[in-house]
């Protein structure tokens, strides 16, 4: 099978690409750029690469020629300059659908967010919903996975918790009364994505997928601290405090410690889909718990945040 992956050098795209490569599939990776962590995926045999922000349907249709399916993961969690939610997540999806039809690709699998919905006051959530609607109304064979918080090697969750704990021993809760999360292991997600590319049971469905264990983010932070052997102090904090921090981080950090969209996500909880959608078949339900072993597998190299993490740094 020949599969195109948008966001192909990111967390989910990169992990899926590696799995598909090991199984002998041909790949076309589409991404705005690469991170140092992801450059190795570009070296694998049977993997082409196109640097794109999905703005040009004509070049996309050429890249998609001969593909059997598309796995669509391109997206952003903060807006920077011309990289807006509408341009990347809505117009980019519209262009991808147009290109898929021109290239006669028969299947598209999209990953959205668990609580993406219309008219909720969050540009991030609303743009994800708009992209879902474009896929659902495209006339293509589709599967949409509405995913919760994903963790694994190269993620934001474990990466930022780890670097934070190496910098300071503090963790501030998002709200005085925390909302629960269900962390989803990248291996569980990739297994479902791989099935969605070929399993007829998942055709033309919008499915919710979350991790096997429910807990608070502060509980997750305690477990990460235990694995790292670091001291941690949990401090209750109001949601508005995190919005202020998120704005500062978005202004100053290359990859914000937390973005405003993520504050909204955590303040709502990451457990139930909104609106409700289809359930996964029982044999595809995630099984991995947020254990010490899972945490160790996903941790980045140890180290504190530094000046290199700032947008003004030339390092």
pLDDT, one tens digit per residue, over 132-172 is 999 999 999 999 999 999 999 989 999 999 999 999 999 99
Check if the beta carbon of residue 1 is closer than 8 Å to that of residue 26: yes
State how far the Cα of 89 lies from the Cα of 91, in Å rounded to an integer.
6
Identify whether 123 is part of a domain: yes
CA distance linking residue 281 with residue 200, whole number of Å: 12
List pLDDT tens digits, range 18-62. 999 989 999 999 988 665 445 666 666 667 888 888 999 999 999
Q: Give the global pTM.
A: 0.94
Ranges assigned E (strand) in 87-203 = 107-113, 141-147, 150-151, 170-172, 180-181, 184-185
**pLDDT tens across 255-309, in order?**
899 999 999 999 999 999 999 999 999 999 999 999 999 999 999 999 999 998 9
Residue span of the structural domain in which 135 resides: 2-152+183-209
| Segment 98-109, tens digit of pLDDT | 999 999 999 999
Beta bridge partners of 209: 147
User: Is the N-terminal amide bond of 275 cis, ω within 30° of 0?
Assistant: yes
The length of the chain in residues reads 315
Residue 174 lies in a domain: no
d(CA 271, CA 276): 11
Q: Measure the CA–CA gap between 279 and 202, rounded to whole angstroms.
A: 10
For residue 36, what pLDDT is reported? 47
CA distances (Å), origin 273, targets 115, 116, 237:
5, 8, 26
The CA–CA distances, whole Å, from 142 to 20, 133, 197, 247, 312 equal 19, 11, 9, 36, 42
127 domain-assigned? yes
Confidence of residue 9 (pLDDT cuts 50, 70, 90): confident
Domain membership of residue 275 (yes or no) is no
Strands 180-181 and 215-216, how do they pair?
Answer: antiparallel
User: pLDDT tens digits for 173-205?
Assistant: 999 999 999 999 999 999 999 999 999 999 999
Number of domains in the chain: 1
Q: Would residue 307 count as lying in a domain?
A: no
How far, in Å, CA of 150 to CA of 228, rounded? 20
Per the CB < 8 A criterion, the answer to whether 110 and 147 are in contact is: no
- CA trace torsion 285, 72, 22, 290 (10° rounding): -40
CATH code assigned at 60 = 3.40.50.720
CB atoms within 10 A of CB 144: 26
pLDDT above 70 covers a percentage of the chain that reads 95
Residue 18 counted as domain residue? yes
Rounded to the nearest 10 degrees, what angle do helices 123-136 and 260-268 cross at?
A: 80
Paired sense of beta strands 26-31 and 47-51, if any? parallel
Query: For 197-251, what is each residue's pLDDT tens digit?
Result: 999 999 999 999 999 999 999 999 999 999 999 999 999 999 999 999 999 999 9
Residue 218 lies in a domain: no
What is the C-alpha to C-alpha distance for residues 95 and 101, in angstroms, rounded to an integer?
10
Does residue 165 form part of some domain?
no
């Amino acid at each position: 099978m020949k599969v195109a992956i948008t966001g192909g050098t990111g967390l989910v795209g990169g992990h899926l690409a590696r799995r598909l490569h090991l199984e002998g599939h041909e790949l076309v990776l589409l991404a705005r750029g690469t991170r140092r962590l992801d450059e190795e995926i570009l070296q694998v045999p049977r993997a082409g690469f196109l640097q794109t922000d999905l703005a040009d349907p004509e070049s996309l249709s050429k890249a998609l020629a001969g593909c059997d399916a598309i796995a669509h993961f391109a997206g952003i969690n903060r807006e920077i300059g011309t990289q807006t939610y509408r341009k990347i997540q809505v117009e980019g999806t519209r262009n991808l659908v147009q290109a898929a039809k021109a290239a006669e690709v028969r299947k598209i699998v999209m990953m959205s967010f668990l609580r993406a919905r219309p008219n909720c006051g969050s540009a991030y959530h609303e743009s994800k919903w708009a992209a879902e609607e474009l896929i659902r109304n495209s006339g293509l064979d589709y599967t949409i996975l509405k995913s919760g918080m994903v963790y694994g090697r190269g993620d934001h969750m474990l990466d930022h918790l780890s670097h934070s704990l190496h910098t300071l021993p503090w963790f501030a809760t998002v709200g005085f009364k925390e909302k629960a999360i269900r962390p989803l292991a990248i291996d569980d997600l990739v297994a479902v994505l791989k099935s969605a590319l070929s399993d007829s049971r998942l055709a033309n469905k919008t499915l919710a997928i979350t991790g096997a264990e429910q807990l608070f983010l502060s509980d997750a932070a305690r477990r990460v601290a235990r694995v790292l052997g670091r001291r941690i102090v949990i401090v209750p904090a109001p949601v508005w405090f995190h919005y202020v921090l998120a704005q500062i981080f978005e202004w100053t950090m290359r990859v914000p410690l937390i973005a405003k969209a993520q504050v909204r996500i955590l303040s709502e909880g990451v457990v139930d889909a909104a609106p409700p959608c289809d359930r996964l078949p029982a044999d595809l339900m995630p099984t991995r718990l947020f254990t010490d072993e899972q945490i160790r597998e996903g941790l980045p190299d140890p180290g504190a945040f530094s000046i290199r993490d700032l947008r003004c740094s030339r390092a």
